[in-house]
């Protein structure tokens, strides 16, 4: 991953965490700790004061999802590049090595084995 891209991801992560912290502080201070402390979801009714917490948690979830996808894409690219690099090194190595020729007795022994199997 490029350093610029990494800085953007870290900046977005810091922004998401700060938004969750600030919306939690707002919920505790001005909204009677709704959505911060455990509550009965069956009796929940939406209030406009819940919006900062809902938005910040949604933003944080989207960030985590995008981060996981980004890491998987980056790992896939890295693995693909390593495979290409290894394949290129193998081809380069094979081109610069002298080809070995089989000696006559080895060739004959292989031919004899093949003729034994075919009968």
- The residue ranges of every structural domain in the chain are 7-34+46-71
pTM of structure: 0.65
Q: What is the pLDDT of residue 60?
A: 97
Per-residue pLDDT averaged across 50-54, rounded? 93
Share of the chain above pLDDT 70, in %: 71
Q: Read off the pLDDT band of 97 (50, 70, 90).
A: low
Q: What is the pLDDT of residue 84?
A: 76
The CA distance from 17 to 28, in Å, is 16
Q: What is the pLDDT of residue 17?
A: 96
Q: How far is CA 116 from CA 32, 54, 84, in A?
A: 90, 79, 42
Q: What is the pLDDT of residue 51?
A: 94
| Cα 101 from chain centre | 46
Q: Read off the pLDDT band of 103 (50, 70, 90).
A: low
């Amino acid at each position: 991953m490029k350093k610029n891209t990494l800085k953007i991801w870290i900046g977005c992560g810091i922004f998401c965490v700060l938004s969750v912290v600030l919306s939690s502080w707002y919920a505790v201070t001005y909204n009677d700790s709704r959505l911060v402390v455990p509550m009965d979801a069956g009796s929940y009714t939406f209030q406009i004061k819940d919006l900062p917490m809902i938005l910040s948690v949604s933003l944080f979830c989207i960030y985590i999802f995008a981060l996981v996808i980004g890491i998987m894409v980056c790992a896939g690219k890295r693995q693909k590049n390593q495979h290409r690099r290894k394949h290129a090194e193998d081809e380069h190595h094979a081109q610069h090595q002298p080809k070995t020729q089989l000696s006559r007795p080895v060739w004959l022994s292989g031919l004899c084995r093949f003729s034994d199997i075919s009968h």
